[in-house]
Amino acid sequence: MTSRHSNWRLDKNSEPSGSKPYNRPKRPPGLRGRAIGLWYRDQMAKKRLDQSSLEVENEDFSSSRARAKEAKLQRKKSFEKLKDEKPLGSILLSDQKKKNINILLNETLDMYPSLQSKNITSYEHLSDTEFKHEFLQHIRGNMMENLKRKCQISKYDNEAENERFLDELKDKKKKHAYKQMQNVRNILPSMKMKKEIIDLIHNNQITVISGETGCGKTTQVAQFILDDLIEKGQGSQCKIICTQPRRISAISVAERVAAERDENIGGSVGFQIRLEKVMPRNRGSILFCTTGVLLKRMETDPSLNEISHIILDEIHERDIISDFLITVLKDVIQFRKDIKIILMSATLNSEAFSKYYNEAPHINIPGFTYPVQEYFLEDVLQMTNFKFEDNRPIWRKKMSVGRKREWHEFIEPYIRQLEAEKKYSRHVTNELRNLEYERVDINLIFELLLKLCFSQKNNDDGAILIFVPGLADIQKLSKLMKESEKFPMSKFIIIPLHSQLPTMDQKQIFKPAPKGTKKIIIATNIAETSITIDDVTTVIDCGFIKISNVDTETGIETLNAEMVSQANAAQRKGRAGRVKPGICYHLITKIRYDLLDKFLKPEVLRKRLEDVILQLKMLQLGKAESFLSKLMDPPESKLVQVSLNLLQRLGALNSEENLTPLGYHMAKLPVPAQCSKMLILASLFSCVDPILSIAASLGFKEANQLSVSQDDSDKRKYQLSMGTKSDHIAMHYALRGYEDAEYKYGFCKEFFLSSSILRLLIEMRKQFAQHLFDMKFTSSSHPRSPSDNLNSDNVALIKAIISAGLYPNVAVVTGCKRVPKLRSVSHEKMEFHPKSVLSKEKSFSSPLIVYHTRIKSSSLYIHDGTIVFPLSLVFFGDQFRIHEKTSNDRFSGVSINGTMRFVCTQSTASAIQNLRDRLNQILEWKVSHPGQVSWAEDNPELRILKTIMELITMEDNEDLDLSDYDDN
């Protein structure tokens, strides 16, 4: 619905006094209202594009040489800096310990003779096993060749099945329950376009279908295809896969479609997600699954030979896996001319998908929502008479060049137009000149709430949904409402909605408020699409969203509140029109709304790419950068290189960017790359159980939940860590405590844990354990099998395995008075996130911290950490180097990563280096000749592993024998 605002125009004399006139393009005549804002937004985009093109054109050919010279200079500076770097610890071994190590090293000198082969990179040293055949076939394979070789275009057709499916459908149509469901379906807008949709799909290999929420595309399109083929006597030729971006969507949609067909799940409709599936019949069927499940299927069946139709739903969300799948299917359709691809999207950006598939035909289904009246910040200021805190004149505020240009070309002329129209008071236009309004102001939301809830004009009985960026904003607004004493529990039901808050009380979200009470939901963007609350009639949109990004130079992830896109704003507005006409208050100005980007950046431009690269390697798609450049929105080359570099440092890829045997196993495990390396090492050292818990938690989510009003959850998490000074081990203790608890509900309530997440993590542990068993790394598929957990109570060893997976994510504690001081190995200032157990620590027995996630928001935060000791990094880190005292470098010891130095004698350094070499040999042999390490037998490899474990354990326990420590 249109806004209250009348048309506005830019004043010819809108430049600030004393400034040079701006050389603006002339606005076309005839534009009105929003079209003016959009035209000026496009001009800004064109200006930015022209500027960047100019910079590219002016770049000299010598720039590549200059960059190479700069890189060489940086390496030299890094080496010089290392000379001045203070050691981060000492490694002390007694003479007797070194003597024992040297004896062991001599005994294991020829442990694996074939590993000494000069042609090790060609894998000629591998024994002729099933693994060798599978691995070499994979790394030498190519998806396009596989498609040529394996593609089958002959159609499956079974007359008996065709008749059976037709008879079943005819019988259903006679049933009362089926007819009732058909009446419900007939109300949906998509039903009115059934024939048009079927004809378009039948006549084209690629079809793009768009439609707003409630149009019925998700539940109906697959049924249209199936019923049409069954009625034509071709039901056995139909085998549909419909992908959903979320697990819960795949299950709920499958259940809904089965109900509409008057069936139980497992008939013509089924679902498959990770850890859970109910498969449909083999033919004449629809399978709803996550995008990840379909990609996994393509590893063994790249041409999807048995599939007749693939429906990719919700592709407008632009998550990495969906973008990846859309690109892979472009190769598949070159060889599978008979397969049908249907792309389903929200209306806003469906044209982009049509264009990507060479102008594929596009059909739009109208939505099914009531009109929603929109108001903007100027209207809210008029209603509330609100005054922002900072009232300094605009010219006294610091602004970037781009923001100044935006102010002078768009915002100031808009404010002048409002003044000329005299629709708003002078107070409003004065406040709009205060740039403080372009941020989240909880006080403004509170004042608007008071107006909506206590004004006689606002007697609507519907719920109010408030969108804020993050948990801190939910907490702040909840506290403000509580302390005001104006929202008593007898009249208001206030529900916070956040992915990490307990779900026990959130069932109230879907229940209508009792008569005489009003329901107020304070939510993040989780309420935009994932959750539909039918009785919402009023939306307050703060105009901001917390979004993750990644720095292409450093790989650091950021999580900051940024302005929403027009697509976000439209989704939020639509929440108010489900049951009757609604109202949406956008807490940004109308001109700012018109200048918003249409969409947020696709996820592939905002995320690390390690797991995506492993996925494309498993699909045999060639060089990472070459394939990723084919995506609709290719990631920057620097970001691809950052991810490739990490995978090479983890040992997953070699210098030619091919999977190593270790990388092949890592890619097969359904966990993040760093966690998969942890699992393989855990099987080697017989400590599988705790690492399974940690991998599941890091790969999915922690079970710890947050409290809106207090930090009790943080205190309980600290208790769960049991003095280990490790967030990761606390994750394991939470899971083990839940499994062992007799009264599970009470355990979860006491420690602020989610029982649903814990149950899911337990199932994931079982799945990972099964994978390790199938890969022959463990002797049992049970996570807590005694034979695979002989060392699971050794906390020092668990920490070392964690550091092996999380390396090179290392931080250094530089001081601890009231708050621990923290830096990265490259000297970036960091902090422990308040939810980390390490933020509560007052003393640190080692300055070394390994972590999985660091995100830059108000500061650069480490979200999870584990204290480790030098040997954990020395044994499992890379770029190992021995230093001798020289005139230039007075340091004697070893270094890791070129940045971390540890003092030790030359004899100790030599012993450690040789043990490292043996450990790497064992790992290399085991991943290329999969098999369990028997800790019950005495053999050379076991003696090496036990020696390393003993050294790590003694160091962590500060139990080193220093009685005969030497200085040689």
Residues whose CB falls within 8 Å of the CB of residue 253, separated by 6 or more in sequence, listed in order: 218, 219, 242, 244, 271, 288
pLDDT value for 795: 95
Q: Output the six-digit token pair for 617.
A: 């390697």
Which tokens hold the place of 596?
């918003």
Q: What sign does the dihedral 341-344-348-349 (CA atoms) show?
A: negative
The residue that leads in pLDDT, 550 or 234, is 234
Average pLDDT over residues 613-637: 91
Q: Which of 596, 577, 450 is nearest to 518 (CA)?
A: 450
Q: Which two tokens stand for residue 868?
A: 């480790």
Choose between 471 and 915: higher pLDDT: 915
pLDDT recorded at residue 865: 94
Confidence check: pLDDT of 200 > 90? yes
pLDDT score, position 12: 34
CA distance 317 to 349: 10
Which of 5-14, 216-225, 844-853 bottoms out in mean pLDDT, i.e. has the lowest? Answer: 5-14
- Give CA 168 to chain center in angstroms: 43
* Residue 631's pLDDT band (cuts 50, 70, 90): very high
The CA distance from 769 to 786, in Å, is: 13
CA distance 647 to 641: 10
- From 295, 151, 143, select the one nearest 622 (Cα to Cα): 143
Q: Read off the pLDDT of residues 809-861 as tens digits, 9 standing for 90 and up.
A: 999 998 776 778 899 888 889 999 888 999 888 888 899 999 998 888 778 89
The vertex-896 CA angle with 892 and 899, nearest 5°, equals: 85
What pLDDT sits at residue 697?
A: 92
- Weakest-pLDDT range from 3-17, 113-127, 329-343, 926-940: 3-17
Q: Span 574-589, mean pLDDT?
A: 89
Please enumerate in sequence order all residues whose Cβ is within 8 A of that of 715, keeping only pairs 6 or more positions apart, or say none: none
Residues in the chain: 968
Which of helix, strand or coil describes residue 355? helix
Selection from 606, 612, 597, 603 nearest residue 551 by Cα: 606
Strand order in the sheet with 866-868: 544-550, 557-563, 854-856, 860-862, 829-832, 820-824, 810-816, 848-850, 866-868
**What phi, psi does 937 have (nearest 5°)?**
-110, 155
Contact predicate 744/754, CB 8 Å: no
The residue-averaged pLDDT of 269-297 equals: 91
- Give the per-residue pLDDT at 124: 66
Q: Per mean pLDDT, which range of 700-709, 735-744, 872-881 is the poorest?
A: 700-709
Tell which wins on pLDDT, 85 or 313.
313
Supply φ then ψ for residue 155, to 5 degrees: -85, 140
Distance CA 50, CA 45 (A): 9
Q: Give the DSSP H/E element, type plus range, for residue 210.
A: strand 206-211
pLDDT in the model for residue 958: 59
Residues 959 and 305: their CA atoms lie apart, in Å, by 61
pLDDT at 15: 37
Query: What pLDDT is recorded for position 19?
Result: 38
- For domain 372-388+443-588, the question of CATH label 3.40.50.300 is answered with yes
* Arithmetic mean of pLDDT, 685-697: 95
Question: Nearest to residue 952, comparing CAs of 875, 887, 877, 894?
Answer: 875
Percentage of the chain with pLDDT > 70? Answer: 83
Q: Is the pLDDT of residue 395 over 80?
A: no
- 573 contacts 596 by C-beta, under 8 angstroms: no
Q: Which of 595, 590, 545 is nearest to 572 (CA)?
A: 545
Give domain limits for the chain: 1-59+392-433, 159-365, 372-388+443-588, 610-799+832-842
pLDDT digits (tens, 9 = 90+) for 372-393: 999 999 999 999 999 887 655 4
Q: Which residue has the higher pLDDT, 255 or 406?
A: 255
Give the separation between CA 270 and CA 512, rounded to whole angstroms: 32
| CA–CA dist 335, 143 (Å, integer) | 11
- Report which of residues 474 and 33 the model is more confident about: 474
pLDDT of residue 506: 54
Query: Which amino acid, residue 227?
Result: D
Q: Which residues, listed in sequence order, are joined to residue 560 by a DSSP beta bridge?
A: 547
Which pLDDT band holds residue 456 (cuts at 50, 70, 90)? low
Query: Span 54-71, mean pLDDT?
Result: 47
Question: Over 430-463, what HEC string results?
Answer: HHHCCHHHCCCCHHHHHHHHHHHHHCCCCCCCCE
Fold match between domain 159-365 and domain 610-799+832-842: no
**What's the whole-number mean pLDDT along residues 485-495?**
89
Under the banding of pLDDT at 50, 70 and 90, the label for residue 203 is very high
pTM of the shown model: 0.77
pLDDT-derived band at 788 (thresholds 50, 70, 90) equals very high
* 3-class secondary structure, 836: coil
Could you tell me how many helices (H) and strands (E) the chain has, helices first?
36, 26
User: Among the listed ranges 392-401, 609-618, 716-725, which one has the minimum average pLDDT value?
Assistant: 392-401
Task: Evaluate whether 899 touches 917 at the Cβ level (below 8 Å).
Answer: no
**What would the two tokens of residue 942 be?**
């076991």
Residue 551 has pLDDT above 90, yes or no: no
Mean pLDDT of the chain: 83
Query: Is residue 718 within 8 Å of residue 837, measured between CB atoms?
Result: yes
Q: 217-231 vs 159-173: helix axis angle to the nearest 10?
A: 120
CATH 3.40.50.620 for domain 610-799+832-842: no
Q: What does the alpha-carbon distance between residue 968 and residue 94 come to, in Å, rounded to a whole number?
A: 11
Rounded-to-integer distance, Cα 691 and Cα 783, Å: 10
Query: What CA–CA distance (Å, rounded) separates 242 from 240?
Result: 6
Least confident piece of the model among 34-48, 60-74, 215-229: 60-74
461 token code pair: 């009985």
More confidently predicted of 709 and 335: 335
Q: Which CATH architecture group holds 159-365?
A: 3-Layer(aba) Sandwich (3.40)
| pLDDT band for position 959 (cuts 50, 70, 90) | very low
Q: Judge whether residue 435 has pLDDT over 60.
A: yes
Confirm if 43 and 25 have CB atoms less than 8 A apart: yes
At residue 538, the pLDDT reads 93
Q: What is the mean pLDDT of residues 547-553?
A: 77
> Tell me: the pLDDT tens digits for 122-176?
676 667 777 888 888 888 778 888 787 777 665 788 899 999 999 999 999 999 9
pLDDT at 56 (0 to 100): 41
Beta strands of 621-740 (E only): which ranges?
Answer: none
Q: Is the pLDDT assigned to residue 224 strictly greater than 90?
A: yes
Q: What is the mean pLDDT of residues 870-893?
A: 86
Lowest model confidence (mean pLDDT) among 159-163, 496-500, 751-755, 790-794: 496-500
pLDDT of 824 reads 87
Instruction: For CA atoms 470, 473, 477, 480, give the dihedral sign.
Output: positive
Helix or strand (DSSP H, E) at 917: helix 906-928
Q: Which helix (H) or strand (E) holds 731?
A: helix 727-740
- Find the radius of gyration of the CA atoms of the chain: 31
Rounded Cα distance between 478 and 472, Å, is: 10
* 332 DSSP 8-state letter: H
- Among 364-368, 472-476, 593-597, 796-800, top mean pLDDT goes to 796-800
Q: Are strands 881-883 and 492-497 parallel, antiparallel or unpaired?
A: unpaired
- Comparing 455 with 781, the larger pLDDT belongs to 781
